[in-house]
A = this chain, B = another copy of it.
Amino acid sequence: MKIGIIGLGLMGGSIAMKLHETHEVFGFDINQSTIDYAIKHKMIDGGSTCVDHFFSDLEVVYLCLYPTQIVPFIQNNQSFIRPNTVVIDIAGIKLPLQKKVLPILREDIDFVLTHPIAGREKIGIQHAKSSIFHNANYIITPTSLNKESSLEIVESLAKSMGFKTITRVDAFTHDDIIAYTSQLTHAISLALVHSEEDSINVSSFIGDSYRDLTRIAMINEPLWSELFIENKEALLSKISAFQESLSLLKSTIESSDSNVLQDYMTYVKNKRLKIEKG
């Protein structure tokens, strides 16, 4: 297949890198130096800073843009897209995007909303790494307009990228669960580092627990502020639920009741072990 990748950042670069093993891949980015880098590192067959180049020829297009860039991109560039092209987005929120894109979309383009749950706490094509998709989860939120054949193409490409579990779910459910598993975890990590007293140097006192909980605090600010704000309602509700759970734990510690504290831990441990098993 001839596949286009719009936006050669960490995610676009990683997708290009992997799909280029078995497909013809063309990259589009606002920076010529990024395209040069992608060609030099054999991630793409060709590329351009303007989308009319190569574009009319593509069968599948991945939009690897920040959520707020997707609507303007569609508005300005869909006239260049070949009829029946499958256009796939990979943003971390789905319902607001679906509501904005569908009304402006050309009828002969099949826009498939997806979320590859993979990433790194790095920015830019030089950190692209196709192994981030290995055994990861991939979510598709089909709309009533999607053709089954397009969804199957998306699933087959996800499988070839290395994703293990591919799930179809409605956009509302996606945004609700992702607010918990992804946006809440980032919010917690940020607040944990934020609360550190400046007067102490913790470097010599950290172990894997601190490292693991704060890795994602090295965040891509523009991307994540979009994700937080676009999914605000669900995220605020998950933060509130977390605050209640933490308050309960705090008062249990305050009471020094070892049995009640161990019960809380056992409840959590069993819950977490269940998820581990899938």
Residues in chain A within 8 A of chain B (CB atoms): 117-119, 136-137, 139, 165, 167, 174, 176-178, 180-182, 184-197, 200, 202-210, 212-219, 221-222, 224-226, 228-229, 232, 235-236, 238-239, 241-250, 253-254, 256, 258, 261-262, 264-269, 271-273, 275-276, 278
- Does A207 lie within 8 Å of B119, measured CB to CB? yes
Task: Specify the main secondary structure of chain A where it touches its partner.
Answer: helix
Kindly identify which residue among B136, B182, B253, B266 contacts A221, using a CB–CB cutoff of 8 Å.
B266
Give 9 A-B pairs besides A119-B208, A228-B261 with Cβ atoms closer than 8 angstroms: A118-B207, A174-B205, A181-B205, A213-B213, A214-B272, A221-B262, A225-B261, A226-B258, A229-B258
Q: Could you give 9 example pairs across A and B, Cβ below 8 Å?
A: A167-B204, A187-B253, A190-B264, A191-B248, A193-B268, A203-B275, A213-B213, A218-B272, A219-B269
List the B residue with the shortest CB-CB distance to A266: B221
- Does A180 lie within 8 Å of B196, measured CB to CB? yes
A244 to B192, CA, bound (A): 10
- Does A242 lie within 8 Å of B204, measured CB to CB? no
* Cβ distance A184 to chain B, nearest Cβ, rounded Å: 7
List the B residue with the shortest CB-CB distance to A238: B195
* Cβ distance A90 to chain B, nearest Cβ, rounded Å: 13
Kindly identify which residue among B165, B213, B256, B276 contacts A185, using a CB–CB cutoff of 8 Å.
B213
Given A185-B213, A212-B216, the answer on whether A239 and B229 have CB atoms closer than 8 Å is no
Complex interface: chain B residues within 8 A of A228 (CB): 253, 261
Kindly identify which residue among B193, B226, B239 contacts A272, using a CB–CB cutoff of 8 Å.
B193
Kindly identify which residue among B117, B192, B238, B278 contacts A184, using a CB–CB cutoff of 8 Å.
B192
- Does A262 lie within 8 Å of B204, measured CB to CB? no
A278 to B204, CA, bound (A): 8
Kindly identify which residue among B165, B212, B276 contacts A212, using a CB–CB cutoff of 8 Å.
B212
Complex interface: chain B residues within 8 A of A216 (CB): 209, 212-213
